[in-house]
Chains A and B, each alone.
Chain A
Amino acid sequence: MMLEHILVLNAYLFSIGIYGFITSRNMVRALMCLELILNAVNINFVTFSDFFYSRQLKGNIFSIFVIAIAAVEATIGSTIVSSIYRNKKSTRINQSTLLNK
């Protein structure tokens, strides 16, 4: 029963992250919601590793790799957002052709 409660909580975090990612007018808020989505998936992996694989720790290792990839993606994303802001002085997310020319 506790496993299902944690999985429902993670599904809620995932859907809140998707909602915030789609309806954000700001690129930095979209990056933050992406981190929320990745963290919800990470809790799922660690919970399954705790319940099913408590001696082999397969989910734990995959969640370490997901944390590393999320760090890389946050770095690259904020670099691109800052270069967009430096060129065009606005971070509206519906102006997607800002990196042209």
Chain B
Amino acid sequence: MKSISIYLSLILHRTDLLGPIHNFLLVFLGSSLILGSLGMVLLTNPIYSALSLGLVLVCISLFYILSNSHFVAAAQLFIYVGAINVLILFAVMFMNGSEYYKDFNLWTIGNGLTSLVCTSILVSLITTILDTSWYGIIWTTRSNQIIEQDLLSNSQQIGIHLAIDFFLPFEFISIILLVALIGAIVVARQ
């Protein structure tokens, strides 16, 4: 999978098509993300919204591949789409009472107020993003980096960082996973 992307990038660098294909894929994935998230929030059937959440998660995984982060893309595909989305689908189907199909979206005052607050959050975030000078930050951080790690792939670098720099969070994550597993079994057993 990673070698395929490397071969494709080598070929496309020769024919000078990497930039436009990159842009086209970004636009395509962005539009499918927008439509999927809108469908997830606005659809009334909970199974449809869970399936559109699956579409959003798969598109995010393809997004990670475009950003040269192959390990995180594989982890997203395995954990989010393969485990969390299936868990959410099980929860939806387990609790599918008869009240959900009659529950059409009434536009209440709370809905309008929340949409106003969310639009104001979005507008403030967009103005903050467009006002920041990102390329000044790039010039200051690119000069601080170690250049010796050029020959390693993405997964190897993540493995090195997890084993050396982030060893303690790694152990804590394993303890958290163990505690959550025990807690879920204890609660579900009664």
Seen from chain A, the residues whose Cβ lies within 8 Å of a Cβ on chain B are: 2-9, 11-20, 22-23, 25-26, 28-29, 31-33, 35-36, 39, 42-43, 46-47, 49-58, 60-61, 63-65, 67-72, 74-76, 78-83, 85, 89-91
Contact = CB atoms under 8 A, between A and B. Distances in A.
B145 A53 contact: yes
A49 B141 CA distance: 11
Interface of B: 23, 26, 30, 33-34, 37-38, 40-41, 46, 49-50, 53, 56-57, 60, 63-64, 67-69, 71-72, 75-76, 79-80, 83-84, 87-88, 90-92, 94-95, 97, 99-100, 103, 110-111, 114-115, 118-119, 121-122, 125-126, 129-130, 134, 137-138, 141-142, 145-147, 149-150, 154, 157-158, 161-162, 166, 169, 173, 176-177, 180-181, 183-184, 187-188, 190
A62 B145 CA distance: 18
B130 A4 contact: yes
A32 B79 contact: no
Given A39-B57, A71-B177, A82-B94, 4 more contacts: A19-B118, A23-B114, A52-B137, A54-B145
Contacts of A4: 129-130, 134
B65 to A, nearest CB: 11
Nearest to A92: B99
B145 A32 contact: no
A84 to B, nearest CB: 9
Contact of A35 (B84, B111, B177): B84
Contacts of B90: 78
A43 B34 contact: no
24 contacts: A12-B37, A15-B122, A16-B41, A19-B115, A20-B41, A32-B49, A42-B72, A43-B60, A47-B67, A50-B69, A53-B141, A55-B145, A56-B145, A57-B161, A60-B69, A61-B166, A64-B71, A65-B173, A68-B173, A68-B176, A68-B177, A69-B173, A78-B90, A81-B91
A83 B188 contact: yes
Nearest to A59: B69
B18 to A, nearest CB: 13
Nearest to A25: B103
